Structure 1
Amino acid sequence: MKESPESSTGATVDAAKFRNKVHGCLLGGAIGDALGYTVEFDSLEGIRSRYGALGLTSFDQLDVPARISDDTQMTLYTVDGLVEVLQWANDGVGADETACLWLAYLRWLKTQGLQVPDNAPFQPDRWIDSQEVLHHRRAPGNACLSGLLTGEMGTRFRPVNPDSNTCGTVMRSAPFGLLPYVAGDVIYRFSTDGAALTHGHPSALHSAAVFSTLIHDLLPEGASLEAAATQAVSRAAAGNVPELSARLEAALALAAEQDVRPERMTEVLGEGWVAEEALAIGLYAALSSLDAGTPLAQFRKAMAVAVNHDGDSDSTASVAGNILGALYGVEALPQEWVEAIDARETVAKMAEALIAVTVG
């Protein structure tokens, strides 16, 4: 498991650069989450009235440490579920990856102050469960809660929330893309199965999977975000989810325009409360920043775009942060922003846990 990690294209991933990208992806997502969570339920007009004409663009405008939300919480529990699978695999024992993820999400449910149903299996505690910074209820998604509260393991063929297409699948799915030695089609399946634990709508399942494989495509050295985005559109079309394909195509077209106002972005891409919109806005924010110069400048610009709009600002900014962090690594992240988030140490330790079971 720890030797010669390869991307879906077969290219070998340098271990040191892979470590950098794992930290960049997870910390980048947490930064976006913490910045956006402050204004998650505010209108664009409300954001501007609080923070000025440019809106919220920096942690300098906030009290720190800034709080991460359920987006980062569930992302880290996704990491933990995958780490458990790989720990078993590295010991020569097979484990059901979706069952491990389900147990991880049930343990997350307990951090939200809720009782796991009696019909659910026992969940042995793991290191992540002792992290007090994750034991806060910060606007968790209703579908994530209700799906887990059934005590039933949702699947694509027996969904617990068959009509839910909210973004709770997308915002937690970047870690699937951080499995460097797994083929892209397997990443897609893993991610879809993981999303089905709480959601059943095709756009929720396939948006998560397209996002995960997009992250995966950014792992090799020299990866191009434009190429990965084009491939994401192709995967969305192959998944036969028209609303997902349409939003991603619109995101790429919008990114080619100049000086797009936030009002136009939401008019074209939506507000991000549902899965395909959150992915489209996060991807658009990342793509529209590529002309900003350095990775640091790109990250700052992308966060401003992803946060300042009517809609689900923490989810859209976490997606954008995951993308640029995976593309560039920690060099894209302003160090003072990393230090501003309350869960930075836990995020870094979970990144190391994933690295330990992949490249060592």
Structure 2
Amino acid sequence: MSLFTLALVMAVGLAGPLLAAPKRLRVPVVVGEILLGVVVGRTGTGWVNADEPVLSFVATAGFALVMLVAGSHVPVRDKALRVAAGRGVLLAVVVGVLAVPAGLGVAALTGTGHGLLYAVLLASSSAALVMPVINAAKLDGSAVIATMVQVAVADTVCIVALPLAEDPARAGRAALGALAVIAVGAVWWLLLWWLQARGLVERAHEVSKTRHFGLELRIALIVVFGMAGLAQLLGVSVMLAGFVAGLALAAVGEPRRLARQLFAVTDGFLGPVFFVWLGASLDLAELGDHPLMIVLAALLAVGTVVVHASVRLVGQPLPLAVLAGAQLGVPVAAVTIGTRSQLLAPGEGSAILAAALVSVAVTAWSAAAAVRSAK
């Protein structure tokens, strides 16, 4: 990959802020980045080759950082979280229970035999999409915190359950890998807590700020990339590693300087690269060769909205309920595992990613509706 290609990817990523700028539209930044990625990728002009190894590597690093920032935005230390945590878990459970018959029904209608995989997809959420939308829209309140808990629970559970549903032969190893990544995240949290209790974090912060060392950022990047590397080695998605590392930062209290630095690196560079790459990797034209897969994509997209919207029956505001259905990491991981292990039918991976893309588009409506309802 040349630097011209990187410049092109970054230029395409500017579509996100440009579409998000008009307050009337309220299009989440990542929506524009993904959609323009589709235009310049496999489906469109082909200017960006998503299979290019260096670009894929940089995008993977971006995904890990996006999840780190998403996890760091979970209000773990907020007292309101304790009140809303139970409700958030309840929302995730309701969606998960309803997703099982829905997923089995989709598999029966399309004849793919992947009912459990579809159930995991329908139940999943994406902290990488939902958290930035909530922060950008400045949404708050107990219902919003419950949504954040729901998304965090669904993200974690679904990424662990995905190998069991899609490739049972690897389920044991994947489960152990997920536990190992979570255990390393717990050790990282304990170490941060120990260092903070002894004033060493504050001392390092002052030295870094005075001498312009950037120590906090360097250490955070070493940890998240180290955990992401461990996840790859053990056959687990890097999204889990990034999210767990972010939760550890949130639990001890992320310094504002580090938050600004992570924002700059993620939202200014690696995050846009990942989202543009994700859009470029979609081959929506493949669906035209397999009409049944178009039906599958439609059923998964509609099923995601319906299953998540069902929590309106237990009192959750409809815009927030639909917002929690935004999907990203789990569908990407599902297609990655399925393609590598040749578990998916022709066009099935494209159908899964197309349905996820629809959920991203729905995110724009739900975010705007949530802001209007909050006024």
Instruction: Give the TM-score normalised by structure 2.
Output: 0.29
The structure having more radius of gyration, on CA atoms, is 2
Would you tell me which structure has more helix in proportion to its own residues?
2
